[in-house]
Amino acid sequence: MTHGNKAAVLILVAVGTLLAHPSADAAERKTKSSETTRATVKLPRGFVYLDTLAPDIINDMRYATPDNFTGRRVPGYHANRCILARPVARAVARVQKAVKKTGYTLKVYDCYRPTRGVHAFFQWAQARFGRPNKAYYPRISRSRIIPLGYIAKRSSHSRGTAIDLTLVKLAETATITATAQTTAKSRRRATGIPCIKPEPERAPASIDMGTSWDCFDELSHTHHGATSGAVQANRRRLLRAMQAEGFRNYRREWWHYSMSLRQFQRLHNFPVE
């Protein structure tokens, strides 16, 4: 066989190999493309995905699902990812590093919030969006939620300078599986257990903070005297860790922390994706 014929045979074999496995090759290209797209979604200047700085923080962004007080996916939330102003994200990453040394990890419920989401909350409080769910406000009427300061027309979340979070024991995260993370529903949504009652959350479970996240009740106030000594100790543990990095707590919500940054005053409406 001549050198020319050998070359032709090799080319035909190579082409045949590619044609024999088109789906696998296409699937691989699609997977790589999807990963690249997810990793390179362009954010406004100064914003960053928290998982690029602290990938071990647990994301439980419930506004991207119907598993929240509105009973619907909140407008503007399309992914279980935390976006923050870069200085805030760096500070949270430092908090994560500190709490891990003491056997804990952070779990994040909400970070940057599009203004359309803030508007939806305001509409919900006025009974114009979503549905009522007394589990989140068992001792007050929905009409009192705005006057009592639990929902407002503007939010520091829309600046990327606020975060809702809690602590999880590192030992409890070992039992998490990808299936449990994507399919689990909270006990509250399934049974309507009031947010002021102790309850196991979806895996991984946070430590006992006295109430659930987004509980519109006095017991959610960070220093409320009716909470137990163990609960107060847990809240102080989170408070001290966050204050050490310059965060300020909202006294009506043990889970809410923010920073005042002069360069991040604009309210944004880009989606979480």
Q: How far is CA 23 from CA 15, 19, 26, 142, in A?
A: 15, 9, 5, 53
Rounded Cα distance, 202 and 212, in Å: 11
Q: What is the token pair recorded at 243?
A: 């204050």
Would strands 162-169 and 104-110 be described as parallel, antiparallel, or unpaired? antiparallel
Can 253 be counted among the known catalytic residues? yes
Q: What is the torsion angle, in degrees rounded to the nearest 10, for the CA atoms of residue 88, residue 234, residue 185 and residue 214? A: -60
Catalytic residue among 35, 218, 245, 253: 253
Rounded Cα distance, 141 and 103, in Å: 39
Rounded Cα distance, 140 and 225, in Å: 19
**Residue 59 near residue 100, CB atoms below 8 Å:** no
Active site residue ranges: 253
